[in-house]
Amino acid sequence: MSHNHQKKIAVINDFCGFGRCSLSVSLPIISAMRIQCCPLPTSIFSNHTGFPSFYYTDFTAHMEAYMAEWERLSLRFRGILTGFLGSPEQIDLVKRFFDRFKREDTTVVIDPVMGDYGRLYPTYSPALAEQMVGLVPYAGILTPNLTEACILTGTAYRPDMGEEELELLCRRLSEMGPDRIVISGLEREGDLENFIYRRGCAPQTVREHRVGPCRSGTGDVFSSIIVADAVNGMEFADSVKHASAFIAKTLRRTMELALPETDGICFEEFLEELGGEGS
């Protein structure tokens, strides 16, 4: 009897009980796209850190034993998605996970959650950012924002980079490993732009009108759709368009419901539209 007759994606990220981000976003989205989502938590939060208070426990000490049980089950993953990693130990554990479970037919998507607006997040140290560079060679697809792309390449951050500069940035990232890169969330005169790079192809851009303020978990929705589309065989640029349009629609509905910014985006109302090709 094999556990591997259905497509599976392993998602390595924190679990957040309320606030629509990380694993609590990836689980329903990947499942709606007809792929089994297998979470490996890095930490557990009652609600995310954007709230005034939260309960938190670090899962680092348990990750090795957790991975060993999956290895005993001989699980095979068509995709692996990584999100926020909070320590050098977790980065080393993720490398070990890749060494154990990454196969030739496994699509690895790395979302290098490190910072925004030209700065590292308060919980992220420069030393940890340097170690994140060591994960990039494992990626087939990389989904940084502009700040993270600059940090990974040692490039000075400028929010108004043009297409030629963005292409050079992506080329440097691609030389590190990934052949598909999307620099997400570029602010362009009231729009949000995603810059799409595929090695050997002309770059493309996808724009959607910006709807409301920045909300938690939007990047997790984006990367979850990207990895599931890749496993389902969708062409990369089409996948970025798919994810961008889905998020824009969901943001419009979120604004209609007047949800607090901390509560994320109400993607649940549109899950049936994501579909998928099945096993």
Q: Are 85 and 121 in contact (CB under 8 A)?
A: no
Q: Are 242 and 225 in contact (CB under 8 A)?
A: yes
**Is 84 part of a structural domain of the chain?**
yes
**Is 105 part of a structural domain of the chain?**
yes
Tokens for 185?
Answer: 């969330």
**Predicted pLDDT at 1:** 65
**Predicted pLDDT at 123:** 79
Which has the closest alpha carbon to 167: 201, 197, 208? 197
**Is 32 part of a structural domain of the chain?**
yes
Q: Are 90 and 63 in contact (CB under 8 A)?
A: yes
**Is 275 part of a structural domain of the chain?**
no
Other Cβ atoms closer than 10 A to 2: 9
Which has the closest alpha carbon to 224: 21, 17, 16? 21
**Is 3 part of a structural domain of the chain?**
no
Q: Are 153 and 112 in contact (CB under 8 A)?
A: no
C-alpha distances in Å from residue 54, one per residue of 33, 50, 83, 206 = 31, 9, 20, 36
**Predicted pLDDT at 279:** 41
CATH number, domain containing residue 42: 3.40.1190.20
**Predicted pLDDT at 215:** 85
Mean pLDDT across the chain, nearest whole number?
A: 93
Distance from C-alpha of 77 to C-alpha of 251, rounded to nearest angstrom: 31
* Residue written as token pair 């009108």: 209
Distance from C-alpha of 141 to C-alpha of 198, rounded to nearest angstrom: 9
Strand 119-120 relative to strand 115-116: parallel, antiparallel, unpaired? Answer: antiparallel
**Predicted pLDDT at 259:** 93
- 211 φ, ψ to 5°? -120, 110
- CA dihedral in degrees (164, 165, 166, 171; nearest 10)? 90
Q: What is the pTM of this model?
A: 0.94
Residue ranges making up the domain that contains 232: 8-270
Q: Are 172 and 192 in contact (CB under 8 A)?
A: no
**Predicted pLDDT at 278:** 44
Regions of the chain with pLDDT less than 70 = 1, 276-279
pLDDT, tens digit, 9 for 90 and up, residues 76-106:
999 999 999 989 999 999 999 999 999 999 9
**Is 44 part of a structural domain of the chain?**
yes
Which has the closest alpha carbon to 258: 192, 213, 191? 213
Q: How many structural domains is the chain composed of? A: 1
**Predicted pLDDT at 188:** 86
**Is 278 part of a structural domain of the chain?**
no
**Is 103 part of a structural domain of the chain?**
yes
**Predicted pLDDT at 208:** 83
